Structure 1
Amino acid sequence: MSKLAVRLLFCAMATGPAPLAMACGYDAIYPNPFEQSWPGSLDIAIATATAVSSQDLAPVAKMVGPDGFNRSYQWLNQLKGVLKQGALPGNVSILLVDSGLWSRVRGKEVLLLQTHTKGPAKRDRVVLTSEAGIQALLSGQLSVAQAKQLGLLVIEDDPDDAFSQSLDRALSQATS
């Protein structure tokens, strides 16, 4: 192997993945969802498939490209509204594991939704779910406790379940 090839290989390894690796499944270049690097992502994907198979969860039609992104954006924007109505704080990063889409709701009095983030910011509460999971929560098909019990929702750094309980109250008010 030539010295130039060795140097190029070393540079590629040292600089990490190309920016395309940060894309999500809606961009049609996201890799296999089973390659998710965030701990617990695979568990959510398997739990979603199991819940749909056992009819504990309604399936969600597969959508890719701009249509899939727009649908997920609407769900995430609706979730942002639920957080605001429930007076829940921002600084929540959400991963939809099927597409690999990281989003963030940030702020205190005014909540802002950012999509295609690189992952959670320092001190963010991390929420892992799937498209079917977020749809079931927002439609009132499942409570937060039911989603967590089925393995469809993980909320990290919520040891006393205070955030989960507040989110559940806000979701039940939004769907009633």
Structure 2
Amino acid sequence: MMQRTLRACMALLCLIPEMGQSCGYDALYPNPFEQNWPGTVNIAMATATAVSREQLPPLTALTGEAGFSRSQAWLQTLKSRLQQAGVGGGISILLIDSGLWSRVRGKESLLLQLHTPGPHPNDRIMLLSEAAISAMLNGSLTIEQGLQLGIVELQRDDNQQLQRDLHKALSSQT
């Protein structure tokens, strides 16, 4: 009996997502001030400052499936805009509010992968808040403004190609 219970517990543990793949929408991820990826705390603080100074519209917090669905829609829209602008993949994205890592990969045809365990080793990285991605997609914030406010950070983008690609993709509102 004890051995059967132990096996059942081990099987259940295998079904629980790893912390590297969990996010705030799973109710397993801590707040953005507790994340361990470099730059996330600065973005969280800059977002709070920008909202309080009315430089960025506040965003209703959504959790669980509703929050995940909203973020999935934003990321899908971003992927579509990148594809329409002729931008290739190789971009890992962290929404710092929830800890949701995603990846846009591919060349001619882009694919969005949600709930990745972290950035791909060769990817350029974009860190941003949910309020920032919402504002950039609705056209009220440019990538340059996001970078200046500190609510967006681009990593592994030494030649600023990702910034140019995002400018091109976000300027083509559809």
Q: TM-score, normalised by structure 2?
A: 0.87
Aligned residues of 2:123 and 2:156 also touching (Cα < 8 A): no
Aligned residues between the structures: 158
AA matched with 1:66: E
Give the Cα separation in 2 of the matches to 1:132 and 1:32.
15
| Distance in structure 1 (CA, Å) of the matches to 2:18 and 2:160 | 36
The unaligned stretches of length 5 or more in structure 2 are: 1-15
- Mapped partners of 2:126, 2:81: distance in 1: 14
In the alignment, what sits opposite 2:103? 104
Letter in 2 for 1:21: M
CA distance in 2, matches of 1:103, 1:29: 17
- TM-superposition CA deviations, 1:43-98 (whole Å, max 9, x none): 11001100000000001100000000000000000000111011111010000000
Secondary structure, counterpart of 2:87 in structure 1: coil
Give the deviation of 1:173 after TM superposition. 1.2
**Partner SS state of residue 174, structure 1:** coil
Q: Which residue of 1 aligns with 2:133?
A: 134
Q: Residue 126 of structure 1 aligns to a residue in which SS? A: strand
**CA separation in 2, counterparts of 1:21 and 1:31?**
10
Which residue number in structure 2 is paired with residue 28 of structure 1? 27
Q: CA RMSD in A?
A: 1.3
Paired amino acid for 2:19: A
Partner of 2:88: 89
Native 8 Å contact 1:20 1:29 kept in 2: no
Q: How far apart in 2 are the matches of 1:27 and 1:163?
A: 30
**Alpha carbons 1:94, 1:126 under 8 Å: kept:** yes
1:127 partner letter: M
Deviation at 1:155, TM superposition (A): 1.0
